Chain A
Amino acid sequence: NAGVTQTPKFRILKIGQSMTLQCAQDMNHNYMYWYRQDPGMGLKLIYYSVGAGITDKGEVPNGYNVSRSTTEDFPLRLELAAPSQTSVYFCASSRLSSNQPQHFGDGTRLSIL
């Protein structure tokens, strides 16, 4: 009964480093999403995917990249990490696009120093 699994839970990066945040779901959901949450703010959509091989930008995509080679996995890549990318990152998935709740992982807390 894993649902949406995110790794790692915590990470500290230096400015300019790169890393990949992992997200996997075992519910056979077609739709997957990456959000970031800054303190005192709501979640903002970074990228989303509607199926393997299909991705698109959300509200705040700059500095990030994604890929979707399988239905289960949706990794988020940070290239040249910047302090502004310090945030908590959440991955979510849903079965359909319309009128269906999204199911979230427990997040990755990322600090860029």
Chain B
Amino acid sequence: DQQVKQNSPSLSVQEGRISILNCDYTNSMFDYFLWYKKYPAEGPTFLISISSIKDKNEDGRFTVFLNKSAKHLSLHIVPSQPGDSAVYFCAASATTDSWGKLQFGAGTQVVVTP
């Protein structure tokens, strides 16, 4: 049973515009959420995270929004740049579930076009 879902396998956006990636989760115990970025032939790289005590976290061009009642989070990239072309994974964990185990979504392939 997939507890973290990214329903859009791909997203194409023009350079300079906003990219919005969505993620839904089903486990109400999840209280820490992360976004990872992955280039081909490399491992996932941590991008940004948010704890359930917040509804927004910003880091430069990247902002993550959390809607706990809807069990939904989104990643906004503004403005999008060609180097942002990658696969983005949403992940979640529950602090009550020890050892920091992460559940991952299937990923969204982002392509930024000139």
Contacts and interface: CB of A to CB of B under 8 A. Distances in A.
Nearest to B34: A101
Interface stretch (A13-21, A43-51, A61-69, A78-86): A43-51
B10 to A, nearest CB: 11
A97 B99 contact: yes
A43 B104 contact: yes
> Interface residues of B: mostly helix, strand, loop or mixed?
mixed
Given A42-B2, A50-B99, 4 more contacts: A42-B105, A45-B102, A90-B43, A97-B98
B106 A107 contact: no
B44 A94 contact: no
A98 interface: yes
* Contact-size category for B: 20 to 34
Contacts, number: 67
Given A42-B4, A50-B99, A56-B99, A99 B32 contact: yes
Interface of B: 2, 4, 6, 9, 32, 34, 36, 41-46, 49, 51, 89, 91, 93, 95, 98-107
Interface string A96-113: 111111111111000000
Nearest to B47: A101
B99 A99 contact: no
Contacts of B107: 42
